[in-house]
Amino acid sequence: MTADIDTDGAPRLRRSIGTTQLALYALGSMVGSGIYGLIGKAAGQAGSAVWLSFLVALFAALLTSLSYASLGSRYPRAGGAAYMTDRAFGIPVLSFTVGLALIASGLTSIATQSKIFAEILVDLTGISIASPAVVAVGFLLIMTGVVFRGIRESIWVNVGCTIMEVSGLLLVIMSGMSYWGTVDYFQTPAEHGDATLAVVVLQASVLAFFAFIGFEDAINVAEECKNPEVTIPLGLVIATLAAAVLYIGVAITAVSVVPWQELAEAPSPLTEVMKRSAPSIPPWLMSFIALFSVANTALVNYVTASRLIYGMANQRLLPERFARVHRTRRTPYVAILALLVAMLLLLVIGNIADLAAATVLLLLVVFIAVNASLIVLKRKPGEVPGRFEIPIILPVIGLLICGTLLAVRIASSNWKAPALAMAILLASVVAYVVLRASRKELR
């Protein structure tokens, strides 16, 4: 038996990811296209104090990230949150629902990023021979080829894209550093009236928190990590802190160069910052970098979703065929092809904005489940501690923060997103019942 072959002769996933690669993998997922638009919206809420909102958001995100890191050091399994909730609560329908919520989030993200990539590319190159829809389909097929090819190839593409993303943000910071110190970094919008700085910053931090989403992707490639008990915690912490440094630096630079009032109205905030701080740099450069950012987000979500399906199939939460691994490429090819079919259907549907908003709510539900799982497992007799343990108070605070964020997000959304989120949860329960009944019939 080799490292890539099970005792029954079936091929396994290949372990080839080190700490640096995992950190870049998680960082590439976090430093996605979100920061390019979020900075303007957050500035509209917090004014020049937007950097403080990212600092508060870091605290909130780091708590859940640490819970993922601790659980990853205990149970380095593909399936991530679905496996952890099953281990903690032993309720298959709950684990199935958590897993399906993450899969839905990945699907909508990939489909959305495909559309954005196509629109940027068509606008950047002026291609008239193909519509954005055709480009989006071509992009999906290329992503499928990369993910099927192997985890090594996917990681190296991820590393290249992440370097481009980070370089773009560093370019923004360096071009505008000379403007630092020219504004009041505690100024907030006047329309908040008597609201204190703390209240305004906290309100904007709810939005800033979503710039950190992506750390949960790292846990699903656990079975492809070298020494995962150490690699996962280190990679997650490094990625989260690196993203925070970049975000805070970008936030300070942005409000220093462009008044926050104008930044909030700018269709492309960071492009506007570059126009003013470095007019000699062509505007298309940021659009070019955005292509790598969008592609990286789609790639990471594709890898994550396929490994999640693979892990759930191994847990017998999904049909066993989804756990099949290609003998040569060592990738879960059935799961990859199933995702491609689902994403092509989403592209045909057209408007998936409401579905994307609903899956953001589902992600917060998953974060609540992960923090709760760690609390239960730390108190459960017979559970072996991992290589990276944290005090139980941290997942407790993380759970409360994610619960608060969920409540605020629901209150600030239109009725469609919460209704869709609830529909997805109910559909998950129905799907679980149907799958369970079909298994009994086969027996």
**Per-residue model confidence as pLDDT tens digits over 70-93:** 999 999 988 889 999 999 999 999
Q: How far apart are CA 116 and CA 110, in angstroms?
A: 10
Is the pLDDT confidence value at 119 over 90? no
CB 294 within 8 A of CB 84: no
For residue 400, which amino acid is it?
L
pTM score of the predicted model: 0.89
When pLDDT is cut at 50, 70 and 90, the band that residue 124 belongs to is confident
Query: pLDDT: is 268 or 25 the higher one?
Result: 25
> What domains can you pick out in the chain, each with its CATH number?
19-434 (1.20.1740.10)
DSSP string for residues in 172-239 = HHHHHGGGTTSS-TT---GGGTT--HHHHHHHHHHHHHTTSTTGGGGGGGGGGBSSHHHHHHHHHHHH
- What's the Cα-to-Cα distance from 161 to each of 209, 305, 334, 354, rounded to whole Å? 23, 19, 26, 28
Q: How far apart are CA 315 and CA 80, in angstroms?
A: 11
Q: Give the model confidence (pLDDT) of 323-376 as tens digits.
A: 999 999 999 999 999 999 999 988 877 666 677 778 888 889 999 999 999 999
> Which residues are CB-neighbours of 6 under 8 A, at least 6 positions away?
12
Token code pair at residue 408 = 């605020």
Measured CA to CA, the distance from residue 187 to residue 181 in angstroms comes to: 13
Distance, CA of 320 to CA of 443 (rounded, Å): 14
Q: Per-residue pLDDT for 2 more than 50?
A: no
398, pLDDT greater than 70: yes
β-partners of residue 11 are 5
At residue 195, the pLDDT reads: 60
